[in-house]
């Protein structure tokens, strides 16, 4: 029996969870070295550890950065697994001790329970936090210095801006974009409050408007550390310690930050605002699932947002619509923390 531990400094993820996995790994190794029978050990830990310690871009844990509440649950569960692994093995000097066996077995049952729950949590059906959680949980409230949530004021501002940008779009579509943008604003503001001391600030929003099929430029990557021996840098949008090779590769960084924002929101009026995607192909496939097909979104060959004639643009119609969504969602930024001037939130998007 051998613990499956592949964590590498170049695959850094969430520092808190990384440390918890390291601690559980060390305790599990002690039990293995004491020659505790495999049948007495909590099943599933080596497999769970492999999932948590995989390469950053493929690990289950890295994909939970857009599900903060789920990640908090994983951290809580790992604390319980660690507590269970601290129980001493019933093997004492190579001899089985019946007196210690009962407590050890109970602890391993508890560990197995939490391991099973974490493995379930790592396979979510959704990949972005639910609007019902973000809009109602006090953890996502953005407060002024008087402790008042400024969500309504922010919503009024972005609805005004969206009306100015897309005056010919339907009110329902603008409200849909407003709700999706508000979700990202609340999540980014929460991330800013909880950012570690060494986290860089979020970059100012880009004000350019893409035309045709050109993609909206993602926020620039955080500055590289002067001493790169740690192999990672804190991403200001998810608070993960992203590997330097992700931040220095434009394509990898674009993939990373698009996942953080999930900019591709379903525009069908009867679909949930929670239908958001980080991948353009997945978004396209979802949109085509609706009974109306693309004809619903491109009435008379005009974009449903800007109403531009799609027969006269460069690039494809879907790329044109994706660029609008990227601009609206990925220009979102966190609000300043605890300010009496509610008008200052205009600078966050």
pLDDT digits (tens, 9 = 90+) for 186-216: 999 999 998 888 788 899 886 655 554 466 7
> How many C-beta atoms lie closer than 10 Å to residue 157's C-beta?
18
Q: What does the pLDDT read at residue 13?
A: 60
Instruction: Please compute the mean of the pLDDT values over residues 124-131 and round it to a whole number.
Output: 86
Q: What is the 3-state secondary structure (H, E, C) of 123-181?
A: CCCCCCCCHHHHHHCHHHCCECCCCCECHHHHHHHHHHHHHHHCCCCCHHHHHHHHHHH
- Rounded to whole angstroms, the Cα distance separating 220 from 105 reads 51
pLDDT at residue 32 greater than cutoff 60 = yes
Strands (E), 217-332: 232-234, 241-243, 264-265, 276-277
The model's pLDDT over 140-194, given as tens digits with 9 standing for 90+, comes to 999 988 899 999 999 999 999 999 999 999 898 999 999 999 999 999 999 999 8
Q: Which of 220, 255, 256 is nearest to 241 (CA)?
A: 256
pTM: 0.84
> How many C-beta atoms lie closer than 10 Å to residue 94's C-beta?
7
Residues 6 or more apart whose Cβ sits within 8 Å of residue 337: 192, 193
Residue with more model confidence, 312 or 124: 312
Residue with more model confidence, 228 or 326: 326
For residue 305, which phi and psi values (nearest 5 degrees)? -100, -60
Strand-pair partners of 234: 241
Q: What does the pLDDT read at residue 53?
A: 81
The model's pLDDT over 239-251, given as tens digits with 9 standing for 90+, comes to 888 888 888 899 9
Q: What does the pLDDT read at residue 8?
A: 38
CA distances (Å), origin 43, targets 72, 124, 309: 23, 21, 60
Which range (41-50, 285-294, 307-316, 321-330) has the least confidence?
Answer: 285-294
Q: What does the pLDDT read at residue 12?
A: 41
Classify residue 314 by its DSSP letter: S
Q: What does the pLDDT read at residue 11?
A: 39
Q: Let me know if 240 is exposed, middle or buried by CB neighbors in 10 A (0-12, 13-18, 19+).
A: buried
Handedness of CA 310, 315, 318, 323 (dihedral sign): negative
Q: What does the pLDDT read at residue 273?
A: 80
Instruction: Please compute the mean of the pLDDT values over residues 82-106 and round it to a whole number.
Output: 86
For residue 217, which phi and psi values (nearest 5 degrees)? -65, 135
Handedness of CA 242, 243, 247, 250 (dihedral sign): negative
Q: What does the pLDDT read at residue 296?
A: 58
pLDDT at residue 337 greater than cutoff 70 = no
Q: What does the pLDDT read at residue 278?
A: 94
- Rounded to whole angstroms, the Cα distance separating 140 from 144 reads 13
pLDDT at residue 7 greater than cutoff 90 = no
Q: What does the pLDDT read at residue 56?
A: 80
């Amino acid at each position: 029996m051998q613990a499956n531990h592949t964590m590498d400094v170049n695959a850094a993820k969430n520092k808190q969870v990384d440390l918890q996995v390291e601690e559980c790994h060390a305790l599990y190794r002690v039990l293995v070295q004491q020659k505790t029978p495999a049948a007495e050990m909590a099943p599933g830990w080596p497999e769970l550890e492999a999932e948590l310690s995989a390469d950053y871009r493929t690990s289950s844990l890295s994909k939970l950065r857009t599900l903060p509440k789920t990640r908090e649950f994983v951290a809580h569960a790992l604390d319980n697994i660690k507590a269970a692994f601290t129980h001493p093995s019933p093997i004492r000097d190579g001899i089985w001790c019946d007196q210690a066996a009962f407590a050890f077995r109970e602890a391993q049952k508890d560990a197995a329970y939490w391991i099973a729950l974490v493995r379930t949590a790592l396979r979510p059906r959704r990949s972005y936090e639910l609007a019902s959680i973000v809009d109602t949980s006090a953890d996502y409230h953005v407060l002024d210095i008087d402790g008042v949530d400024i969500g309504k004021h922010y919503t009024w501002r972005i609805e005004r801006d969206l009306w100015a940008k897309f005056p010919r779009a339907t009110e329902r579509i603008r409200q849909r974009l407003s709700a999706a943008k508000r979700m990202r604003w609340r999540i980014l503001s929460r991330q800013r409050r909880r950012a570690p001391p060494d986290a860089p600030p979020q970059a100012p929003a880009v004000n350019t408007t893409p035309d045709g099929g050109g993609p909206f430029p993602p926020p620039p990557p955080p500055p590289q550390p002067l001493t790169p021996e740690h192999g990672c840098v804190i991403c200001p949008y998810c608070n993960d310690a992203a590997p330097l090779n992700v931040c220095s590769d434009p394509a990898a960084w674009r993939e990373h930050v698009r996942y953080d924002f999930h900019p591709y929101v379903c525009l069908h009026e009867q679909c949930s605002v929670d239908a958001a995607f980080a991948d353009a192909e997945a978004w396209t496939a979802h949109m085509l699932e609706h009974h109306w097909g693309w004809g619903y979104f491109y009435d008379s060959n005009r974009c449903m947002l800007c109403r531009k004639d799609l027969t006269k643009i460069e690039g494809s119609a879907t790329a044109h619509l994706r660029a609008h969504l990227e601009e609206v969602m990925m220009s979102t930024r966190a609000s300043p923390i605890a300010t009496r001037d509610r008008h200052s939130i205009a600078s966050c998007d």
